[in-house]
Chain A
Amino acid sequence: SQKIEQNSEALNIQEGKTATLTCNYTNYSPAYLQWYRQDPGRGPVFLLLIRENEKEKRKERLKVTFDTTLKQSLFHITASQPADSATYLCALDEATGSGYSTLTFGKGTMLLVSP
């Protein structure tokens, strides 16, 4: 069966360090992968999209890698700040039978950045 795995335990780091979150998947061949941030009681907010032919994508302090051989994406936040504390979700596209695709989300990893 298809599965997306993100660390269920919260990641606690100190301000200024680099946070690294992992997204592993099985039985998917996604054309692209997306990362979202979700704060408590709010809807997710899009952060980055990376395609299967891209190894790495950067946006300000954020970096995403995508290894289709390992079936893994890593999400990095450099120089982390307490304001980065949130739950981070990865999502993979999944083809439907009608030629469309929808996003399937992992359960997310909570990041806690302490001052």
Chain B
Amino acid sequence: DGGITQSPKYLFRKEGQNVTLSCEQNLNHDAMYWYRQDPGQGLRLIYYSQIVNDFQKGDIAEGYSVSREKKESFPLTVTSAQKNPTAFYLCASSRGRSEKLFFGSGTQLSVL
């Protein structure tokens, strides 16, 4: 089945710790995205990548980092510099600009 897979479903971070959220897609999509969703809020764009080995900051990139070494993979690292990391994180992919987004099932990150 083609799709986009996020793992883990739930993740806990200790203070001062970096954690990495995984996102893999087998849709052969060029573009991938990371969004953050807080309760009762819309999705906010963290980072996006239009093509392998290239990525751009979104609206709330501070405290996050990404890499795009393979077309299929776009991991997100939540660094210790992100002081309010508790949120629902969503990864998405698309064939390109102006195309619909396919979302993963999300990762809920909480702080211990």
What is the size, in residues, of chain A's interface with B at 8 Å between Cβ atoms? 26
Q: Which of A41, A42, A101 contacts B97 (CB 8 A)?
A: A101
**Which residue of chain A has the shortest Cβ distance to B102 in the bound complex?**
A46
Chain B binding surface SS class: strand
Stretch from A61-69, A72-80, A92-100 at the B interface? A92-100
Tell me the chain B residues, 72-112 only, with Cβ under 8 Å from chain A.
88, 90, 92, 97-98, 100-106, 108
Q: Are the CB atoms of B106 and A107 closer together than 8 Å?
A: no
Give the A-binding residues of B (Cβ under 8 A).
33, 35, 40-43, 45, 48, 50, 56, 58, 88, 90, 92, 97-98, 100-106, 108
Query: Could you list 12 further interchain pairs (A-B, Cβ under 8 angstroms) beyond the known A34-B101, A105-B43?
Result: A32-B98, A34-B100, A36-B101, A42-B105, A43-B103, A43-B106, A46-B102, A89-B43, A96-B56, A98-B56, A101-B98, A102-B58
